[in-house]
Copies of this chain bind each other. A is one copy, B any other.
Amino acid sequence: MVTMQDVAERAGVTKQTVSNVVTGRVAVRPATEARVRAAIAELGYVPNLVARSLATGSSRTVGLFVPTVSVPFYADVVEEVEDALEERGYRLLLCTTRLDGERARRHLAALAGRSVDALLIAGDQDLTGHLPLLADARFPVVLCAWEAALPAGFPVVTVDYEHGGHLAGRHLRALGHERALVLASPAHTVRAAGFRRAFREDGVELPGDAVRTAAEPTFRGGFAAALDALRDRPDTTAVFATHDVLAVAAVEAARSLGRVVPDDLSVVAHDDTPAGLLSGTALTSVTLPKRAMARQAVDLALAPARPGTAVSRLLLPSLTPGESTAPAR
């Protein structure tokens, strides 16, 4: 293995001159620099990043916890975080927790000891029991894309999910819908609440059972719940699905009842992840600013908090019109 010392000898300088050339921290006379660069090329020298990390105290690596990458939303988050890190010269150490506390604990232990400069934790996860570990971690911890149950004491960059639900509700109200249902995952009560508020503010109080919770946030679970709800309340003209797969399930359930989307039923989805494409219909959807969220979370994690810096950020979602909503008739 060729070291900085080897390059230095070849170029007839000392190794810190080589270091100066490589890091660019200190200016080097052009002629010297040329000799050093030639030596680097001839020897095929590659700086040892581990040695650099030990000397500088920074590993140029950031850890990211996500529940899974098998859910399109988190897959997108991972790629956005990766992009943001790459732009800043950092690498990504990925840990999927599968919502398993024990896994999270093991990963946390593996990250201790300076192997990351910061840790991003995306998605509602049960951190109970790890809070002490996290609190005296030797690196900054930033929470990202959390909807509820935010543990105190950590910076967080997330989306105003309540506002997302509100946007969906306002959109449907603007189209004249009155009898609406919410098809929700158990974890999405905040989104449902925002939706309800939009209707209330516009003079329509949705009944208590307007929110139908799917036993599972899967196609099957959503399909069953949607079928059930639409049979129960056949006069329903609009559905807000808090999750993309649930939206597809709602469309299919409506279709199986002989109803056409959007003519007979309007459907608003949440987050236009690739799964949305599967329905064959571009869904009207609440869109989350994933890229902005990733970038701000990374910036927050990498820039040490100084007085006057925002320690938490709530980003606004938007509504992307599609072909799945139409005026009520």
The answer to whether B113 and A47 touch across the interface, beta carbons within 8 angstroms, is: yes
Give the size category of A's interface with B: 35 or more
Complex interface residues of chain A between 53 and 100 (CB less than 8 A to chain B): 53-54, 59, 61, 68-70, 72, 75-76, 78-79, 82, 86, 91-96, 98
Q: Which residues of B contact A61 (CB under 8 A)?
A: 93, 115
Contact of A94 among B94, B252, B278, B280 (CB under 8 A): B94
Closest Cβ of chain B to A61, distance in Å, is: 7
Q: Which residues of B contact A5 (CB under 8 A)?
A: none
For residue A12, CB closer than 8 A to chain B, the reply is: no
For residue A49, CB closer than 8 A to chain B, the reply is: yes
For residue A112, CB closer than 8 A to chain B, the reply is: yes
Task: Say whether, besides A91-B115, A110-B91, A113-B47, A70 and B75 are in contact (CB < 8 Å).
Answer: yes
Which stretch in A30-38, A188-196, A215-223, A311-319 binds the other chain?
A: A215-223
Complex interface bits, A103-114 against B, C-beta within 8 A gives 1, otherwise 0: 000110011111
Rounded to whole angstroms, the CA-CA distance of A15 and B283 in the bound complex is: 63
The answer to whether B59 and A70 touch across the interface, beta carbons within 8 angstroms, is: no
Closest Cβ of chain B to A191, distance in Å, is: 21
The answer to whether B54 and A82 touch across the interface, beta carbons within 8 angstroms, is: no
Rounded to whole angstroms, the CA-CA distance of A32 and B48 in the bound complex is: 36
**Could you list which residues of chain A lie within 8 angstroms of chain B, going by C-beta atoms?**
1, 44, 46-54, 59, 61, 68-70, 72, 75-76, 78-79, 82, 86, 91-96, 98, 106-107, 110-115, 136, 138, 218-220, 223, 245, 248, 252, 274-275, 277-280
